[in-house]
């Protein structure tokens, strides 16, 4: 990986995945607020849960609309999860890359893998783990936004999601929410400070120092 040239900084694609119920949506929204990160609103064919708003939580579309978007290559990635389709709009990723804006993506492991494959230098992948499987089940049942059959399906899929934790750069255990948020913030701040994203500051300063040194009389060099 090479240092970014001045003025060419690309946005960070911060990807967050977890088994359903681990608290990824809660953490993603808190992080977006705290760090003023843009949240990538996905398209989905699933029906809205009580309280979910179109265009804020998801862009809710029909199966036909989703299929048309695939045909028109409008997705950066998409996947079938828990029987519904979910996808990230390509224009969101383009905005991150062209305007240097950092974006937060709440996607499953298939989405994480597709983003990593296409943008290996810009993506940072974080996997959220529940403190235990019993607590994961408690959270899913307490959330009570899904029908009992949907909860069973999410518990089954949890194992398949967990199988992919090792493909991620960072792991955050969401036991205490405040601690998990602090860890997630730290990961994002560290990514922003990576030499590969900040290198141009070093180069600029070095150029300035060298120019000054050249201008000094030989006795002072
Ligand atoms: P996900 O997006 O991973 O499916 P949610 O963010 O919807 O999960 O969280 C699942 C449920 O667990 C929600 O009711 C949420 O309020 C709750 N929750 C999230 N984090 C914690 C935590 N650290 N401790 C206790 N409950 C939590
Ligand atoms: P939920 O229905 O609980 O909101 O989300 C179910 C799963 O779909 C979660 O694992 C979530 O991360 C994932 N998901 C949400 N949006 C996208 C997306 O745009 N792409 C992919 N691949 N997964 C998504």
Domains and CATH numbers, the chain: 13-38+102-214 (3.40.50.300)
Q: Is residue 6 pLDDT above 70, yes or no?
A: no
Q: Whose CA is nearest to atom 17 of ligand 2?
A: 107
CA angle centred on 93, ends 91 and 99, rounded to 5°: 90
Residue 18 Cβ contacting ligand 1 at under 6 Å:
yes
Helix/strand/coil for 59: strand
Query: Residue 142 — very low, low, confident or very high, per pLDDT cuts 50/70/90?
Result: confident
Q: Is residue 146 pLDDT above 80, yes or no?
A: no
Q: Which residues contact 32 (CB under 8 A, 6 or more apart)?
A: 38, 39, 104
Alpha carbons 52 and 45: distance in angstroms, whole number: 14
Q: What average pLDDT does this structure show over 45-53?
A: 92
Closest atom, ligand 2, to C-alpha of 161: 10
Beta bridge partners of 173: 129
Q: Is residue 199 pLDDT above 80, yes or no?
A: no
Q: Is residue 3 pLDDT above 70, yes or no?
A: no
Q: Is residue 121 pLDDT above 80, yes or no?
A: yes
Answer yes or no: pTM beyond 0.85.
Answer: yes
Residue 79 Cβ contacting ligand 2 at under 6 Å:
yes
Average the pLDDT over each of 29-43, 71-85, 150-164, 169-183 and give the range with the smallest value. Answer: 150-164
Alpha carbons 92 and 90: distance in angstroms, whole number: 5
The pLDDT assigned to 102 comes to 93
Pick the ligand that lies closest to the CA of residue 131: 1
The pLDDT assigned to 99 comes to 85
Alpha carbons 88 and 178: distance in angstroms, whole number: 28
Q: Is residue 27 pLDDT above 60, yes or no?
A: yes
């Amino acid at each position: 990986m090479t240092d970014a040239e001045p003025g060419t900084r690309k946005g960070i694609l911060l990807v967050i995945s977890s088994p359903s119920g681990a608290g990824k949506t809660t953490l993603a929204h808190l992080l977006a607020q705290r760090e003023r990160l843009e949240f990538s609103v996905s398209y989905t064919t699933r029906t809205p849960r009580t309280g979910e708003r179109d265009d804020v939580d998801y862009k809710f579309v029909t199966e036909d609309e989703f299929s048309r978007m695939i045909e028109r290559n409008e997705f950066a990635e998409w996947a079938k999860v828990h029987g519904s389709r979910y996808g990230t709009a390509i224009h969101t990723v383009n905005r991150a890359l062209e305007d240097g804006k950092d974006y937060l993506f709440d996607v499953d492991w298939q989405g994480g893998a597709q983003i990593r494959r296409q943008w290996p230098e810009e993506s940072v992948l974080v996997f959220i783990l529940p403190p235990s499987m019993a607590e994961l089940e408690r959270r899913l049942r307490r959330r009570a936004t899904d029908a009992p059959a949907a909860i069973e399906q999410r518990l089954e899929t949890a194992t398949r999601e967990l199988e992919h934790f090792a493909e991620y750069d960072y792991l955050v255990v969401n036991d205490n929410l405040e601690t998990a948020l602090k860890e997630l913030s730290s990961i994002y701040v560290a990514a922003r400070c990576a030499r590969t994203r900040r290198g141009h500051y070093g180069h600029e300063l070095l150029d300035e120092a060298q120019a000054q040194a050249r201008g000094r009389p030989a006795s002072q060099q």
